[in-house]
Structure 1
């Protein structure tokens, strides 16, 4: 079909008629209307012509000696399954029964002979517009298919029953069916992915097993949409193999660097301690403040290295927690004592009232890691609290939970930053000029440690300027008597 989009389409019309005079007359009429036309004298010739050069429209006589128009129509429909081919049957027979039968066999329209040129022109113009629209839709669909097949991630679409109804090329390759979707369509996702549709929509990651037995970790993204009144789900599976390899390399690098830093730093801190203790003789008055600055910054660097080491252990699942029944008030007392010196240097007062039923405040925790959690929360609170203000540690009991709130009187937390506060390397001010140092790992490690010990941590919504409130809670340990 040849025509610019704005003009009337020029069609390639095939006329099928065993009577030469009527065939030539109809061909001449079609040509006069501005279309390309060719004619054949029988049904068999029409079938051969359609297979070698597909026309846009077929004008088909119903009464022919070898194959009548009804049989030719039926065979044309069997041949042309990939693209619509309009078939208009023609006949001079009276009555509608034969036209009805032709339409039942797959014909699209009919013309009564002798053919009215104006009616033929209108019908060809109509089918030309429909074919042009079909061509544009086919091009758009092909573009979408090409885009989909060039996506490296596995993309599948599931019907409401969880059966595959569409897949891209990556899905064919990764799920083991080669370059064809044959064998994939119609199969349940539970058979291919190991989980049903409901479970799939609730997960963030999945280990996908291909048909050759190999597996790969995948990130899941599910998008529901509606088609013919039914909800379908398009699922994107992004292979995380390379990302996991990069993460492992990064973790190994951090662990190696941290260990390499630890050895000289230990020697430096030891030497500073000896100097401060007078082993090499009394330090001059002007040297003591410099030694104190070096020691404090060395200790700060040591804490940062500890955070990096903990990060690599946690994310590599190499950190072993020793959970045992402990007294929470006793641990809180240790945490406050450990951070009292830091609070004194900043002029901050720590306020803590032990719970009246302290004997019932028992939980199953790793004591050392709980002290690490409290150290992070208290040091953050002290660091952001102005001199002369308070940091409150408030133990609260709530049913089966034991809660500990750490509340400061600092500037509070920017609401825009609050959703990201427990993310890795997250800082409210990431610039080089931020007033407080840090790696952005403390609260991330705190969250992971709390969750590994079966607890929860939240930051409360407080107005800016009215301090920050963090709360950790753990299940109360009910010991049998």
Structure 2
């Protein structure tokens, strides 16, 4: 009862304070979220408003710049078109031929008149053009043809009034241009007869060079255009809705007001010249490209008309007030504030209702836990509730059972592992071992905890962790030793270093290895030596008894000799396989020309061909193919392939050997092709395995051990090469040996019979 009385006030505190805390926390989160959202929304809205304003200004600015570029590049296009008109070439031909065109007989004056007519037509369609001239290089840059715009029409300037312009900067610039190149002069007041004209109109000149048929410079076409009219027409064509300024690199500018229209051009050398913002402020653009000056924001776009010389650069500025730029953001901020207030009220209401809903199951769980503390083992928790509280109840109910079940599983696994498992601390004291370990070391039924592991495993576990499995000599409880394999890993549990070792008894495996080594030694000393003597004796007997024995006796000697040779090859193959597995084959690698070596090997293998009544043929598409191999081992590999081919090729047929390139200069291919039955599909994957034969009965009849291809592949791999094959049942098989060359392939190809 005392415990119940003490807990009940805690329940009341939980009932009241937790609910209030949830409501206050929700209210605080809602307020913080509202403020954060308001600030973030305003910043985002301001950023978006600036982005939209920037996009609008950029669009108008670039449109104006494009119209300006288009207007000025029309001058370049027109000069280029004029340069291609027939009168230009006619004037050049007539001027170089004493005044008469040798092509059609037209006089120089006629061609000038025709060109003047074309200039007049061009002035008629281009209102901004004030003058077009064709100026030659001769006579100090004298005008050849000149047509002026007059208020009442067009004036073709008489020959006597044509001027020398070679001293003017724009003519000098034009006479430096390369064929096909164009340029513009600086903006200036038009001059005539060495002085400014009275109207004081600003001009810009388009320049295009003229060359004769031999590529010799002849002159330059010059189009004078009213710069102010060009700028005003271009701005009017763009129809910007924002305040716009167009300025060149010299500071000359035109202002366009959407209400008042375009202003006159202001020259930088005028007495009352004053550069407008932002030209006068020197402010730089931000990452959006905006220039902020007082209460206004400008966007700049720069266009270079003459890219080659960069002597005509136009800056276009469009302007908007900061208030107009941020107006959408202010509206969004007001909407966000009203929405935040509404959300705050809704949040408080919902939080109060949810707090009551969430705390009721917690109160019920608290009562059940109190009953459990009083000795009631049957818990009635809300395990069926589909939320976090239900999950907490289920976890609380299941945790004890899960822990016991997990511990039982781990113990069962450890106890049933076939290998010995041991855990020690950093001092080498045994903390845990499984039954397999205790049985292995003779401690069945006896405790090992606390013993020094070095008594069983010399050196302990600490010095061997992180290594691969090592072989050691372990010591049993009775003092006897045995060969074991030990793997150690380092663990960290609750801040302590532990070492886990897995021990495996390898005594039997070592015994088998020793027996195998003894067998190989026996084969080497007890079989190969007598077989060599038997084979030699049979060969000597067969040679001395030739013609003296009856057919049956001679056949018996031949069969005995064949069997001895076959058994000798089998013994040699087995010894080679054992050497391969033990890594004890010695290679005497040297540089060898395969085109020389392969025919020699084939010649030494002719007895194979005679035995099976077939022929070996050799062909090479290469003049030489130098590789690094052990000649004897390469011969062994090639003879294995020749032997296979000879065995399975029908009598009277041939086995083809060929040397060729592999499609890459750094490799050579040696192929051996037989015309036998081919390799069955199901056997192809096992061709290079040991003791495998496509047809065991047939292979036995042919004298095959099933080791030749395995040995061949091992030798080829040792030389850094590869071996593969293609086969077709009923038609034959081709083996390909690819070896790396140590010098480029010879370019000359030849056939070797």
- Residue 263 of structure 1: aligned partner: 529
Structure 2 CA distance for partners of 1:149 and 1:179, relative to 1, 3 Å: farther
C-alpha distance in structure 2 between counterparts of 1:288 and 1:303, whole Å = 23
Change over 3 Å in CA distance of 1:437–1:170 after alignment to 2 = farther
Contact 1:402 1:473 in 2 (8 A): yes
**Structure 2 residue corresponding to 1:139, chosen from 405, 409, 415:** 405
2:650/2:676 contact within 8 Å kept: yes
TM-score (norm. length: structure 2): 0.38
Partner Cα separation in structure 1 for residue 370 and residue 404 of structure 2 = 36
After TM superposition, give the deviation of residue 439 of structure 1 in Å.
2.7
Q: Equivalent residues in 2 for 1:16-415 (5 A)?
A: 18=2, 61=4, 63=6, 93-96=11-14, 109-111=365-367, 123=380, 126=383, 131=397, 135=401, 138-139=404-405, 142-143=408-409, 145-148=411-414, 150-152=416-418, 192-194=465-467, 206-208=468-470, 243=509, 246-278=512-544, 282-358=548-624, 361-398=625-662, 399-415=665-681
User: Displacement of 1:287 after TM fit?
Assistant: 1.4
Instruction: Tell me which of 685, 708, 711 is aligned to 1:445.
Output: 711
Distance 1:421 1:146, change over 3 A: farther
Q: Shift of the alpha carbon at 1:396?
A: 1.9
How far 1:426 sits from its partner (Å)? 2.8
Partners of 1:141 and 1:113 in 2: CA distance = 26
Q: 1:309 to 1:112 in 2, by over 3 A?
A: closer
Describe how 1:449-460 pairs up with structure 2 within 5 A.
Answer: 449-460=715-726
- Structure 1: state its 5+ residue gaps: 1-16, 20-60, 64-88, 157-166, 181-190, 195-205, 220-235
1-side partners of 2:416 and 2:378: how far apart? 43
What's 1:471 paired with? 736
Deviates more, 1:238-247 or 1:448-457: 238-247
In 2, distance between residues paired with 1:452 and 1:428?
26
Superimposed CA distance per residue, residues 318-337 of structure 1 (whole angstroms, 9 cap, x where no aligned partner) = 32211111121222112212
In structure 2, the CA distance between the partners of 1:317 and 1:350, relative to structure 1 (3 Å rule), is: same
Q: How many matched pairs?
A: 340
Task: Note the C-alpha offset of 1:364.
Answer: 1.2
**For 2:551 and 2:540, how far apart are their aligned partners in 1?**
16
SS in 2 for 1:94: helix
Q: TM-score, normalised by structure 1?
A: 0.57
The change in CA–CA distance for 1:132 and 1:302 in structure 2 (over 3 A counts) is: same
Aligned to 1:229: none
Q: CA RMSD, aligned part only?
A: 4.9
SS in 2 for 1:326: strand
Q: 1:336 to 1:129 in 2, by over 3 A?
A: same
Give the 3 Å change call, closer, same or farther, for CA 246–467 of structure 1 in structure 2. Answer: same
In structure 2, how many angstroms separate the alpha carbons of the residues matched to 1:109 and 1:427? 75
| Deviation (angstroms), 1:425 | 2.4
